[in-house]
Amino acid sequence: MPRLRDGVIKRGGSWSYVVRVPDPATGLSKPKWVGGFDTEEDAKAARDEARVSARRGEYVNRSTSTVANYLAEWVDAHASTVKPKTLAGYRHDIDHYIVPRISRMRLQALRPAVISRLYRDLAEHGGRNGGQLSAITVSHIHRTLRKALADADDVEQLLASNPAARSKRPKSSTAEPAQVWTVEQLSSFLAAAPSHRLFAFYRLAAYTGARRGELLYLRWDAVGLDIAEVTLSGSTAVVRGRRVEGTTKGGRSRTVSLDRETVAVLREHRRQQTEERLAAGSAWNDNGGLVFTSRWGEPLYPDTVTALMTKLINQHNKSATPPAKPLPHARLHDLRHLHATTLLLAGVPVHVVAARLGHADPAVTLRVYSHVLREHTVSVGDIFAQAVKGSR
């Protein structure tokens, strides 16, 4: 008859161990049997780890759940609690990068070293045709996996700790947003675009720093033309080919002030939209008061305004009287960066710029635009010296 030796015993063709674990409900310790180990050494190693966890109050029941099974259940559980775009990002990271590589591993077998190897493999061979994967994408995958395993630790209590939190990612330099256009080039672009029916979209993007999705969500009842301000309270995105609406990126609304000329541009845009609605008649789509729509009142997809900006730039460069210096290609998001850098270089306080951009923490603004602030501090020493010299 098999004998129990120091908490380890052979049962049939496999080994098991027993450890005393405190019952959370009563505080009394109870024996906990765990089996299925191929060798005595494996059972002893697991027993020793379980004893340490039990003493620390971190013991978790053994689970046979694989990484693939757990992540599938985790995503389904989050389907109704996160934004559609966030959920789509989780699914993409899991289906394309995580599951193909570590799907069959037991969840409780994950260690920081395993996850670190996963990140290195993705960075070197996770891209298209086995090429490199960008550091930004690897960081996004890390955030997804860290969130999922944090829930396995804190919520499901399947892990004693989060191995992703202690993993290491390949080092990468943080890319600073390049200022593609100067304010003069922005003026040239806007001067060439007023004839287009969506000119107001680009004017508002440049003069508020709002995100593309925030402007496509904007309703007229959130536009205060008499008080020169707009309230950005939601965002539009495309998930699996479908246009969806949700909250802003930070989950909070914000109010942004407008200059007089932008208010005038919006008034003219509203007048033109009214004419289009009357001309369309019964064909007009009741869109809930969207500021930016198609000629028939249909909601716009984000890619529409992105592609249109490229088209307007090309038309400007190839006009009958082409400019002396063609405008370089710029992304729609570059208007946001130009807005932020212009304000920072003008001396607007960082916390004010952060609030205008919708950054929940000014530290985000400091990190993203640190290169601009460095330029701004070049002459600070001279300013102080001149102030002291002038007091003499």
Supply the pLDDT for residue 178.
61
What the block records as the tokens of 357 is 């951009």
Identify the domain boundary among 281, 311, 328.
Answer: 328
Burial of 221 (0-12, 13-18, 19+ CB in 10 A): exposed
Q: Is 127 found in the same domain as 158?
A: yes
% the chain with pLDDT above 70: 93
Asked whether residue 379 is assigned to any structural domain, the reply reads no
Contact (Cβ atoms closer than 8 angstroms) between residue 271 and residue 286: no
Pick the closest to residue 60 from 153, 165, 162, 164 (CA basis).
Answer: 153
Q: Is 319 found in the same domain as 211?
A: yes
Q: Between vectors from CA 217 to CA 354 and to CA 348, what angle results, nearest 5°?
A: 20
Comparison of pLDDT for 48 and 232, the residue scoring more: 232
Asked whether residue 352 is assigned to any structural domain, the reply reads no
Above 80 in pLDDT, residue 377?
A: no
Comparison of pLDDT for 214 and 15, the residue scoring more: 214
Supply the pLDDT for residue 174.
55
Sheet strands (E) in 233-388: 235-239, 242-246, 254-257
Supply the pLDDT for residue 180.
76
Supply the pLDDT for residue 19.
87
Q: State the average pLDDT over residues 342-368.
A: 90
> Domain residues for 238?
183-328
Supply the pLDDT for residue 311.
95
Q: Is 239 found in the same domain as 317?
A: yes
**Can you give the CATH number for the domain in which 210 is found?**
1.10.443.10
Supply the pLDDT for residue 21.
79
Asked whether residue 201 is assigned to any structural domain, the reply reads yes
The model's confidence at residue 360, banded by pLDDT at 50, 70 and 90, is confident
Asked whether residue 3 is assigned to any structural domain, the reply reads no
Supply the pLDDT for residue 36.
78
Asked whether residue 276 is assigned to any structural domain, the reply reads yes
Contact (Cβ atoms closer than 8 angstroms) between residue 153 and residue 160: yes
Average pLDDT, the chain: 88
Query: Which tens digits make up the pLDDT trace of 234-254?
Result: 999 988 888 999 888 888 999
Number of domains in the chain: 3
Q: Is 198 found in the same domain as 110?
A: no
**Can you give the CATH number for the domain in which 104 is found?**
1.10.150.130
Task: State the Cα–Cα distance between residues 7 and 87, nearest whole angstrom.
Answer: 44
Least confident of 78-92, 273-287, 369-383: 369-383
Q: State the average pLDDT over residues 215-243.
A: 94
Q: State the average pLDDT over residues 142-147.
A: 95
Instruction: Select, from the ranges 7-16, 79-88, 303-312, the one with the highest average predicted confidence (pLDDT).
Output: 303-312
Asked whether residue 81 is assigned to any structural domain, the reply reads yes
Q: Is 277 found in the same domain as 215?
A: yes
Above 60 in pLDDT, residue 322?
A: yes
Type of residue numbered 26: T
Q: State the average pLDDT over residues 138-148.
A: 95
Pick the closest to residue 208 from 62, 58, 340 (CA basis).
Answer: 340
Supply the pLDDT for residue 380.
65
Q: Is 282 found in the same domain as 238?
A: yes
Question: Dihedral through CA 234, CA 237, CA 242, CA 246, nearest 10?
Answer: -30
Bridge pairing between strands 229-232 and 254-257: antiparallel
Q: Is 253 found in the same domain as 154?
A: no
Q: Is 72 found in the same domain as 51?
A: no
Type of residue numbered 230: V
Supply the pLDDT for residue 173.
55
Q: State the average pLDDT over residues 126-144.
A: 92
Q: Is 101 found in the same domain as 21?
A: no
% the chain with pLDDT above 90: 54
Above 60 in pLDDT, residue 175?
A: no
What the block records as the tokens of 45 is 């190693």
Task: State the Cα–Cα distance between residues 215 and 236, nearest whole angstrom.
Answer: 8
Identify the domain boundary among 107, 133, 166.
Answer: 166
Asked whether residue 174 is assigned to any structural domain, the reply reads no
Q: Is 282 found in the same domain as 197?
A: yes
Torsion over CA: 130, 133, 138, 141 (sign): negative
Asked whether residue 366 is assigned to any structural domain, the reply reads no
Q: Is 79 found in the same domain as 23?
A: no
Whole-prediction pTM value? 0.72
Task: State the Cα–Cα distance between residues 271 and 365, nearest whole angstrom.
Answer: 36
Q: Is 208 found in the same domain as 321?
A: yes
Supply the pLDDT for residue 68.
95
Above 60 in pLDDT, residue 109?
A: yes
